[in-house]
Amino acid sequence: VRESGSCSIAELARRFEVSTETVRRSVKPLIETGAVVRFHGGVMLPDGLEEPPFQRRMQRHREAKQAVAALVAARIADGDPIILDNGTTSAYVAQALAHHSRLVVVTNSAEIACRLAPRNDNRIFLCGGEVNGDDVAAFGPSAIAFLRQFQVRCAVLSVGGINGRGELVDFHLFEAEFSHAAMAQAAETWVIADHSKFGREAPVKVCSLADIDLVATDRPPPPDFARRCDAAGVRILVPGDGA
């Protein structure tokens, strides 16, 4: 729980190879002492409803995020129009696109705009709006209105977690609203999520698997999630799969 910020009861049971009832009994004293907070289906750290600052999140699971970013960058061609959101894995995608040229990138992240704007005849369109100081990204009606002027090949979106029901979730409503708008402007939606995001709960539902086209992750996902993806026609991209 300390590693990921939150975890479902089912995931804890799988990880420790015990029953869910055993996990519930084990976490009860932690809940009573305030070491963790209970939510429906899992537990989180007391500050688990808030993500840590952006630069700290950039270092968390860094190698896994870089692996995901490399997978996605390899599927993007020179000149492609794309949307990149403000997530830390998205920032690594921008880094992995360093040698691409003539990209058309729409983003709400000043960090990503600064990484890509000076390079290789790229065209960068930065959404305006109220800026979130944590990650220097714009949200709200103005950002969404700006985004709706574009049609792109793919929206590359990060999420706060992928819960045990296969739903993509996030920590803030304004982030989910931006994701919804991005999905509407893209021919395809690609979700980028390292292994720590699986089984992780967050308060706001972004979308269901039926709403996306591809999930890129750094290792094979849990079997139940893979089955859900297969049923929904969602491609799973992991290192070394040849996709």
Mean pLDDT by 10-residue block, N- to C-terminus, for the chain (243 residues)? 76 89 91 83 71 69 94 98 96 95 97 90 94 86 97 97 94 95 99 94 94 98 96 96 60
CATH architecture of 54-237: 3-Layer(aba) Sandwich (3.40)
Task: Please provide the DSSP assignment of 12-62 as one string.
Answer: HHHHHT--HHHHHHHHHHHHHHTSSEEETTEEE-TTTTSPPPHHHHHHTTH
Q: Are 51 and 5 in contact (CB under 8 A)?
A: yes
What ranges do the domains of the chain cover? 6-44, 54-237
Rounded Cα gap, residues 55 and 67, in angstroms: 18
pLDDT score of 2: 66
**For residue 72, what is the enclosing H or E element?**
helix 62-75
Stated length of the chain: 243
